[in-house]
């Protein structure tokens, strides 16, 4: 397949076409099949996270003398957010959080029970709540400025993953409750790659080794199996099923980043909750950085900060939910005979939510990267002050405007494809234009609030 064709796939000129990356790059499949290599990479992540936890708990508590802050909030978070677009949930396949639970399971220190129905049904709500708590703690309690608080937050997530590994087989936490996994899954719906089986091959399978395991190898850690993967929401892309399947069904495809948004049409409840929460948290963070902190009293308390940010977050969450409902009402079609009810404006605003999170994380990473080496030196008694560098201020607004404008263009494209695709003739030109105005309105809101985000820079 030529480069022109690949570019055409990316820009959605060939909506139903995919490029099999296993076929184009056989080494990629071999890497996923090499489980020892996968385990080695996971071990490196475990070592880094162990250092972060120990250094955060027992190292210097001045954020200018401990690199834990930058490793956690300036390197890990932005890297994870960037990975959403390129490799979907593949980061989850190497995530250190389930590591201790896997060790305990191998040692037999577990009490296996079937995963309860309440967890399968209501886990999404708890995951969204936990993600909201993380954002709330991050902004209202200054957790990004405290090595110990950062380490405790990581320990809390690690504790949750370990506890559920003791109660239930494999990785129930990752499938149903992990707040990081949920946001990663939602953002991965606009990834340029997808992990999918060849369902025509799977129909003839009788062993289901990808889910059940075989020859002492465990099956899918999140109870899916390759044959159960139909979207990017739940599969960790750990590659386990690639080595278990003897029919060459699993593969990683290159696709248009709009492909899954157009297929899902906002019918997944995960997206319906995460997207407004992401939008709300970003707008709240923009306002909090510039407006609230500018008017904070000199002797403000933690309770005051918590209350003010909580009010901002709640306000914008209500506003974004109403905004999406207004968009659905203007769109005029919210139910389909084939897949039931859906939220048409959710896929339209997934690019904005993704871009907004990139703005928050990349700005912080760029700003703090300037001081990483001097901080490293102070922590370990070295003079690395000469290694400090300066990021010109103009880079921040230029990068942010590019991301926001690109997300608006992407949202308009998704809207256009919905109106003139599956819903052709069902959405009038007037309704289409009104929906476009809503997309422009959200983009304008981001652009207006962005200058407040630069206040601390």
Phi and psi for 187 in degrees, rounded to 5? -65, -30
**Residue finishing a domain among 212, 228, 254:** 254
- Determine the pLDDT at residue 294: 64
User: Is 276 in the same domain as 246?
Assistant: no
In a domain, 423, yes or no: yes
Same domain for 361 and 219, yes or no, is no
Assigned domain for 152 exists: no
User: How much is the pLDDT for 307?
Assistant: 84
422 φ/ψ angles, rounded to the nearest 5 degrees: -65, -25
Confidence at residue 435, expressed as pLDDT on a 0 to 100 scale: 96
Residue 430's pLDDT is 96
pLDDT at site 413: 97
Taking each helix axis as running N to C, give the angle between helix 429-453 and helix 302-331, from 0 to 180 degrees, rounded to the nearest 10. 160
Nearest to 225 by CA among 214, 241, 238: 241
- Residue 339: predicted pLDDT: 65
Report the Cα 106 to chain-centroid distance in Å: 29
Task: State the average pLDDT for the chain.
Answer: 91
What is the pLDDT at residue 75? 94
Q: What percent of the chain has pLDDT over 70?
A: 96
Together in a domain, 212 and 320: no
Do residue 222 and residue 277 come from a single domain? no
Same domain, yes or no: 243 and 307: no
Task: Please check whether residue 333 lies inside any domain of the structure.
Answer: yes
Give me the pLDDT at residue 220, please.
Answer: 94
Residue pair 236/251 in contact (Cβ under 8 Å)? The answer is no
Tell whether 369 and 421 lie within a shared domain.
yes
Residue 417, in any domain of the structure: yes
* Range(s) of the domain holding residue 211: 190-254
Say if residue 289 is in the same domain as residue 194. no
Q: Is 67 helix (H, G, I), strand (E, B) or coil?
A: coil
Q: What is the Cα–Cα distance from 415 to 349, expressed in whole angstroms? A: 9
Asked, for residue 209, whether it belongs to a domain, the answer is yes
pLDDT for 300 equals: 67
Residue 127 falls in which region: left (phi positive, over 0), alpha (psi -120 to 50) or beta: alpha
On whether residue 455 sits in a domain, the answer given is: yes
The b/e string for 230-267 (b: 16+ C-beta within 10 A; e otherwise) is bbbbbbbbbbbbbbbbeeebbbbbbbbbbbbbbebbbb
Residues 38-63 as b or e (16 or more Cβ within 10 Å = b): beeebeebbeebeebbebbeebbeeb
The verdict on 278 and 346 lying in the same domain is yes
Same domain, 241 and 318: no
In this structure, the answer to whether residues 240 and 355 fall within a common structural domain is no
d(CA 196, CA 241) in angstroms, rounded, equals: 11
CA atoms of 35 and 169, how far apart (whole Å): 20
CA distance 296 to 305: 9
**How far, in Å, CA of 154 to CA of 100, rounded?**
13
Residue 142 confidence (pLDDT):
82
Residue 162 lies in a domain: no
Q: Which ranges of the chain have pLDDT less than 50?
A: none
State how many domains the chain has.
Answer: 2
pTM of the predicted model over 0.85: yes
Q: How far apart are CA 89 and CA 170, in angstroms?
A: 18
| Whole-number Cα distances in Å, 374 to 3, 70, 391 | 44, 12, 15
- Regarding whether 387 and 313 lie in a shared domain, the answer is yes
> Per the domain annotation, does 147 fall within a domain?
no
Indicate if 196 and 302 belong to the same structural domain.
no
The residue from 229, 254, 279 where one domain ends is: 254
**Among candidate residues 29, 8, 20, the one with its CA nearest the CA of residue 237:** 29
Nearest CA among 171, 183, 1 for reference residue 98: 171
């Amino acid at each position: 397949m030529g480069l022109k064709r690949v570019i055409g796939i990316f820009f959605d000129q060939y909506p139903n076409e995919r490029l099999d990356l296993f076929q184009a790059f056989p080494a990629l499949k071999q890497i996923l099949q090499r489980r020892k290599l996968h385990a080695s990479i996971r071990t490196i992540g475990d070592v880094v996270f162990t250092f972060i936890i120990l250094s955060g708990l027992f190292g210097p508590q001045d954020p200018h003398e401990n690199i834990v802050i930058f490793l956690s909030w300036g390197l890990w978070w932005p890297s994870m957010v960037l990975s959403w677009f390129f490799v979907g949930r593949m980061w989850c396949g190497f995530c250190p959080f389930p590591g201790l639970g896997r060790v305990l399971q191998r040692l037999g220190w577990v009490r296996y029970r079937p995963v309860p129905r309440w967890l399968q049904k209501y886990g999404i709500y708890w995951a969204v709540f936990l993600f909201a708590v993380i954002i709330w703690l991050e902004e209202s309690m200054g957790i990004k400025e405290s090595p110990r608080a950062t380490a405790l937050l990581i320990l809390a997530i690690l504790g949750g993953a370990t506890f559920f590994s003791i109660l239930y087989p494999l990785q129930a936490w990752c499938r149903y409750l992990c707040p990081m996994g949920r946001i990663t899954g939602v953002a991965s719906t606009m990834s340029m790659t997808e992990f999918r089986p060849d369902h025509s091959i799977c129909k003839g399978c009788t062993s289901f080794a990808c889910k059940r395991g075989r020859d002492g190898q465990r099956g899918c850690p999140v109870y899916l199996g390759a044959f159960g993967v139909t979207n990017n929401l739940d599969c960790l892309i750990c590659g386990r099923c690639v080595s278990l399947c003897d029919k060459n069904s699993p593969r990683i495809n290159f696709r248009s980043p709009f492909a899954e948004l157009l297929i899902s049409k906002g019918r997944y409840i995960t997206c319906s909750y995460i997207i407004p929460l992401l939008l709300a948290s970003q707008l709240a963070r923009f306002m909090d950085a510039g407006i609230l902190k500018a008017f904070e009293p000199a002797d403000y308390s933690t309770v005051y900060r918590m209350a003010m940010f909580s009010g901002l977050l709640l306000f914008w969450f209500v506003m974004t939910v109403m905004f999406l409902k207004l968009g659905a009402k203007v769109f005029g079609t919210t139910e389909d005979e084939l897949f039931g009810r859906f939220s048409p404006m959710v896929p339209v605003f997934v690019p904005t939510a993704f871009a907004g999170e990139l703005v928050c994380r990349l700005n912080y990473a760029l700003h703090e990267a300037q001081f990483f080496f001097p901080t490293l030196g102070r922590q370990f008694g070295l003079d690395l002050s000469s290694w400090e560098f300066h990021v010109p201020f103009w880079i921040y607004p230029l990068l942010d405007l590019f991301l926001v404008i690109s997300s608006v263009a992407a949202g308009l494209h998704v809207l256009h494809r919905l109106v003139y695709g599956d819903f052709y003739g069902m959405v009038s030109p007037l309704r289409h234009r009104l929906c476009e105005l809503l997309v422009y309105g959200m983009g304008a809101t981001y652009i207006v609030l962005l200058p407040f985000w630069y206040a601390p820079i």
